[in-house]
Amino acid sequence: MTEALLVIDIQNDFCPGGALAVAAGDQIVPGINALMKEFEAVILTQDWHPAGHSSFASSYAGADPMSVIDMYYGPQVLWPDHCVQGSHGAAFHKDLDTTRANMIIRKGYNPAIDSYSAFFENDRTTPTGLEGYLRTRGIQKLTLAGLATDFCVNYSSVDAARLGFDVTVREDLCRAIDFQGSLEDARETMLAAGVTLG
């Protein structure tokens, strides 16, 4: 086995009706379920924030959601409270076939730092452990799908390419937030990193 499917954050809060809904985020679920059948290894990621996380606008008096502040690791978008541990919003979308998952990577659980990437927290150095798992299983090629193209899919794919994996992002099975031109920026960043956009 040398290939794996990495499914990013198909959770209620990122789907229509959720706290940080991505437009049409639920529409990619059937295609992702079908794609799982083509891979022996399927890994799911799950945003998993404690209440009061430092990336939540509600943690700062007077701060507006989607504003940006400087954290010790760089700029941080302040999000609406979302994917709080154990909440309905943090749960996987009910139609996602979680039975195919070999592994679930939870990220963003450190209250002091956000974690967009499946591989590293936002300081880009603190690992989640996913790289070690892939290496010990001999996986060299990754296909990514999920939410959102311009944040967690982007960061995960770029980190995977930087670590030497052969990476493809299935854009048809992703959806974007597109915050202040973030989708086009993300596409340029992924292509520059050597990620294949399919």
Provide the annotated active-site residues.
9, 107, 152
CA 70 to chain centre: 21
Query: 178 and 21 in contact (C-beta within 8 Å)?
Result: no
Write down the residue that tokens 């993300």 correspond to: 186
Write down the residue that tokens 């099975």 correspond to: 173
User: Which of 65, 35, 23, 49 minimizes the C-alpha distance to 143?
Assistant: 35
What b/e sequence results for 18-32 when a residue is b if at least 16 CB atoms lie within 10 Å of its CB, and e otherwise? bbbbbeebbebbeeb
What span, in angstroms and rounded, lies between the C-alpha atoms of 105 and 133?
Answer: 10
Up-side HSE of residue 69: CA atoms within 13 Å toward CB? 17
